[in-house]
Amino acid sequence: MKLITRNTDYAIRALAYMARKEDELTSATEIVKALKVPKQFLRSIMQKLGRNGFVKSYKGIGGGFKLSKRPSSVYIKDVAEAFQGAFRLNECLLGKSVCPNRKCCALKKKIDSIEKHVVSEMSSITVSDLLKG
Amino acid sequence: MKLITRNTDYAIRALAYMARKEDELTSATEIVKALKVPKQFLRSIMQKLGRNGFVKSYKGIGGGFKLSKRPSSVYIKDVAEAFQGAFRLNECLLGKSVCPNRKCCALKKKIDSIEKHVVSEMSSITVSDLLKG
DNA sequence: ATAAAATGATATCATGTTAGTATCATATTG
DNA sequence: CAATATGATACTAACATGATATCATTTTAT
């Protein structure tokens, strides 16, 4: 039960890598070399980051990507949700046809509260928090 | 990203069902009817509950299962771990060959702390807490 | 004895998700 | 116009989860 999947992980690393270079353009090729991750996989991730407004892209020789927001306003939670969908920890508890007391079920309440905690914690950390190391 | 999977869910329901019947023996067939879940799937779950010491089993006509511990001492966390393995939320962050500052990485720290919270919350609820509804 | 009803062990199949690859189209620069 | 980027999209592979099928063994009742 992993909290973030590999594509999210790569996305975050790529964003952090770009953040270190300030406003410079960074190509997928360069990120692949720096992070040692599979090229096509990273490319698809970069494209998704583009579609989701995290980066701007520039085609052609000398092209590449750059952040479209300040690193301090890019929340890890939002990156994760772009790749994994919303955090829904209760996903697999059965519906009320099987569990009639779903509404007041102590376990469901507990998992709901854990979910709130996860979301709030993941919302409390940004790409810029990852640059210190 | 579900916190508990379906087999864990069924296992918990089965334990709760048995808990309501106190010390009576309960067959898989009966549980299947009560919970409306697939028979063979539940049987495999019951067998696992047996191997993991949550229930005792009795073969033959009139046989079945009963809890081997008081419901108030059966923690949901332990049931979940029997079926899903330990809660390891950091599972998919890459090793240090890719991420050199893994030790002090803010994201890793954050996820570790979330994991502690999850484990502690799942350890604070038992089968007997589910019987109220 | 033996049939019925239960669990034990195990192997298999089906489906969905994640991880990763391949290809072609399009844009930009020199 | 060639080289080097990204955009879009389709596909494959591996793994995890959910579910099923079978046969062996044990127990009880007749």
Q: What is the pLDDT of residues B106-128, one digit of tens each?
A: 999 999 999 999 999 999 999 99
How many Å from the CA of B57 to C1' of C7?
Answer: 7
Q: Which pLDDT does position B100 carry in this prediction?
A: 56
B chain contacts of residue A122, beta-carbon cutoff 8 Å: 110, 114
Cite the DSSP H helix spans in A1-133.
Answer: 6-20, 28-35, 39-51, 76-84, 106-122
Is residue B1 very low, low, confident or very high in pLDDT (cuts 50, 70, 90)? confident
3-state secondary structure of A103: coil
Mean pLDDT of chain A: 92
Q: Is the CB of B40 under 7 A from strand D?
A: yes
User: Which of A44-48, B71-75, B91-95 shows the lowest per-residue confidence on average (mean pLDDT)?
Assistant: B91-95
What lies within 8 Å, CB to CB, of B85 at 6+ separation is none
Is the per-residue pLDDT at A15 higher than 70? Answer: yes
Could you check: is the Cβ of residue B39 within 7 Å of any atom of nucleic acid strand D? yes
Residue nearest to nucleotide C23 (CA to C1'): A40
Give yes or no for CB of A5 within 7 Å of strand D: no
pLDDT over 80 at B57, yes or no: yes
From the number of C-beta atoms within 10 Å of its C-beta (0-12, 13-18, 19+), residue B47 rates as: middle
CB of B92 nearer than 7 A to strand C: yes
* pLDDT of res. A91: 78
- Strand C atom within 7 Å of A113 CB: no
B6-130: CATH topology: Arc Repressor Mutant, subunit A (1.10.10)
How far does the CA of residue A41 sit from the closest CA of chain B (Å)?
Answer: 15
- The full set of domain ranges for chain B reads 6-130
Nucleotides of C under 7 A from a protein CB: 4-11, 18-23, 26-30
Given an 8 Å threshold on Cβ–Cβ distance, is B110 in contact with A89? no
Return the bridge partners of B67, or none. B55
Across the A:B interface, residue pairs with CB atoms under 8 Å apart total 120
Maximum separation of any 2 CA atoms in chain B, in Å: 61
Please classify residue B132 by burial: count the beta carbons closer than 10 Å to its beta carbon, then call 0-12 exposed, 13-18 middle and 19+ buried: exposed
Q: Which nucleotide is nearest to B43 (CA to C1')?
A: C7
Please write the tens of the pLDDT for every residue from A84-107. Answer: 999 999 876 665 555 555 555 899
Judge: A107–B76 Cβ closer than 8 Å, yes or no.
yes
Using an 8 Å CB-CB cutoff, list chain B residues near A115: 3
pLDDT digits (tens, 9 = 90+) for B33-49: 999 999 999 999 999 99
A28 band by pLDDT with thresholds 50, 70 and 90 = very high
